[in-house]
């Protein structure tokens, strides 16, 4: 697993279930990640993904850095962390 640390510069929530996070030091220097809710997600999986989106949104407003954990070959966020 890889970790990418930075500020959430932009958050785009789509009604289709995917949320896009633009993470980086400035609005012009970001990496794009996504959190995707699918029809096959269990209630627990859907809740965890909703919580990650809420945490990313709160971090963006508060200008706190996040750590997006993702597979090396993927930009899908599997875990999101806000370090103290």
Segments making up each domain of the chain, as ranges: 2-81
Residue 84 near residue 7, CB atoms below 8 Å: no
Backbone angles phi, psi at 62, to 5 degrees: -85, -5
pTM of the model: 0.90
d(C-alpha 10, C-alpha 33), whole Å:
11
Would you write out the chain's pLDDT as a tens digit for each of its 84 residues? 999 999 999 999 987 789 999 999 999 999 999 999 888 999 999 999 999 999 999 999 999 999 999 999 999 999 999 998
The class that CATH gives domain 2-81 is mainly beta
């Amino acid at each position: 697993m890889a970790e990418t640390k930075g500020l959430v510069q932009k958050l785009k929530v789509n009604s289709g279930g995917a949320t896009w996070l633009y993470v980086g030091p400035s609005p012009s220097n970001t990496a794009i990640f996504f959190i995707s809710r699918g029809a096959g997600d269990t209630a627990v999986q859907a809740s965890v993904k909703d919580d990650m989106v809420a945490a990313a949104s709160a971090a963006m407003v508060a200008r706190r850095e996040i750590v997006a954990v993702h597979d090396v070959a993927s930009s899908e966020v599997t875990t999101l962390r806000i370090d103290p």
